[in-house]
Every structure is written in C-alpha cells, then in structure tokens.
Structure 1
Amino acid sequence: MSERTLILLRHAKSDWSGEVSDLERPLADRGLRQAPLAGAWLARNIGHIDLAVVSPAHRARSTWEIAEAELTEPPPTRVDSRGYAASADELLDVVRELPDEAHTVVLVVHNPGIADLAELLTGQWTPMPTSTLAVLSFTGPWSEAGERPTVVLATGRPPEDLRHRLGHG
C-alpha cells in the first residue's frame, strides 16, 4: 500500500478593502509576505510535490503561484472550481478523485471547508488561519481517504519551525 501525503494550505491573507467580488479578491500586503514563507517551508520540509489542486479564487491562485516559486520543481497545478466555498464533504470528494500516481498533493482552498476537512480526515480539530499548512498522511489509495487512519505530521503557519513534527529535528 502506498503512503499518501495531503498538504492542506489555506490561502494567504486577502485584501478586503476593494469593491471586487469574493472570487476576485486579491492578496493583502500581509498575504504577499505570507505566501512565499509557506512555499519556502514546503521546499525545506516536503521537497517533491506531485500535484497542486487550487481553488479558482484569485487569492488562492495567487497564494499558490507565489508559494510554488519557492520550490525547486513546481508540480503540475490543476484549478478545480469545487475548491471554492466548498464544504469538507465536497473537498473530500476532490481528494478521493486524486490520481493514484500522485503520492504528495497540496490542496489550496478556503475556510471553513479546509479546517473541517482536516478534522473529518484526522478526527482532531486543526485551526487553519490564513497561510496555515497542515500535512496529513495515510496509507492506501486516495479513493479511501477518510476511511483510513490519517495522521497529522505538521501544522502551523510558517515561518514557524515545524521540522521536529516531521521527524527532522
């Protein structure tokens, strides 16, 4: 059985000052500072990522574009409209449809769905403020996500040093 790593990344802080639609809301200055820190943490602690699945919202796409620029080998990115304003169950459907050849996947979406998904998969509440990462692991095919024990390997908002939770420290 293959080990799967699901990295949940909540988009960076968005800018509420303009009069744009929720879908088009850009990142705030703080978000522009947060996103590369998330990418640097991923580069340092995860390394290879097989696929990124990103909400179509501008703030989620921008977060991932900035974060992935920190990676040595950015993965293919798939924008999935189901990631926008999704419930935990809707996000679980996205996860269960991931290709089995992808062992490490990052999902860049929104709250409350992303925090609810982490709880649904792990059985424990994981706060997901903007730019927070939660690294989850389970064994088996993606289609069985939520049916198998899932472990939280790391959680937090970079630049916090979470290496010890991944067994590097």
Structure 2
Amino acid sequence: MARDFDRPLAGRGRRSALAMAEFLAREDLHPDMVLCSAACRARETLDHIQTAWNWAGNVCVEHDLYGMDAPGLITRLQRLPESLESVMVIGHNPTMEATAHTLVGNGPDKDMADMRAKFPTAALAMIKFDIPDMPWTELAPETGTLIRFVKPRDL
C-alpha cells in the first residue's frame, strides 16, 4: 500500500481539481506565487491548475507543507517576500481549513457559513488582508476578510 504522501488523487478528487482549475482560469485568478505541498495529489492539483491557466509562473513546492499544522502554515506565510501581493496555497486538510478559519475575521454571511460547515477537497477560500501594504510578517488571526468560498460541487 502506498504511503499517504505518495497517494494520487482519487476519481472524485481529480474531478474536483479539474473543476476548480477551470473555475480559476475562467475567473482569471493568477496569484503572484503558488505554494504547493510536495505530496502527489497536491502536485496533481497544481498540474491541473497550470494546464487550465496555461501558466508556469512562480511555484514553490515544499515537502514541509505536508503534515504542517495551521500555526506552522501561518509562520511559513509570514516568511514570504514582501514583493508578493497574492499567494495560492495547495495543501491538505485539516490544515487548510484550520488556517482559513484562523485568518478570516469576517466575510459574506453565506460564504462564512459554507466555510464553517464543510471545507471539502479542492475548496477555495479567497482571503483578502485589508491592511494596506501589510507585510506578510504581520499576518495574524482574524486579519483577513473572506472574499469568496468556492466548493467544487457548486461549479
């Protein structure tokens, strides 16, 4: 049996990743950088997104993202270069869900309720930090506003 780290996307996960990749391309959402776990299924998700975007931009694949907890991910984000205005993280639950819940202080009621109810595979939490020119080092709990929460099944 393959280690979890080496496990590829299952059928539903592949369909969800493809749907989200198509959504990101349709909405023309291109971050300055993608921070991606080195786990097989995270890299597969990244491949689908890059194909949909026709983009091979700034990508950082990191082994440490696999198994990292929410405080660890926030600390990692705090080390991002100030030149980056937007970052997409492709990681794993429960870390992604816990990180989003920690960073978001407010947002549209429906999106907040949806995010709190279930954070499924390939979900997208778009979070904006309202402090002008906020350096990543200032990233802290409840400093973000949830702009949109998108689940693959809603696409």
What band does the TM-score fall into relative to the shorter chain?
0.7 to 0.9
Distance in 2 between residues matched to 1:120 and 1:61, nearest whole Å: 25
Describe the SS at the equivalent of 1:137.
strand
User: Where is the helix percentage greater, Structure 1 or Structure 2?
Assistant: 2
- The aligned residue for residue 67 of structure 1 is 49
Q: Does 1:99 align with 2:81?
A: yes
SS at match of 2:148: strand
Unmatched segments (≥5 aa) in structure 1: 1-18, 162-169
Which deviates more from structure 2 when the two are superposed, residues 132-141 or residues 71-80?
A: 71-80
- Per the normalisation by structure 1, the TM-score is 0.77
Give the Cα separation in 1 of the matches to 2:86 and 2:26.
15
Shift, 1:159, TM fit? 5.7
Distance 1:100 1:112 in 2: 27
Aligned sequence identity (%) = 29
- The equivalent of 2:109 in structure 1 is none
Aligned to 1:112: 94
State the TM-score, normalizing by the size of structure 2: 0.83
RMSD over aligned Cα, in angstroms?
Answer: 1.9
Gaps of 5+ in 2: 107-111
Contact map agreement 1:49 1:104 (CA 8 A) in 2: yes
Task: Tell me: higher relative CO, structure 1 or 2? Use CA pairs within 8 A at least 6 residues apart.
Answer: 1
Q: Which amino acid aligns with 2:148?
A: A
Aligned residues: 143
Distance 1:80 1:46 in 2: 25
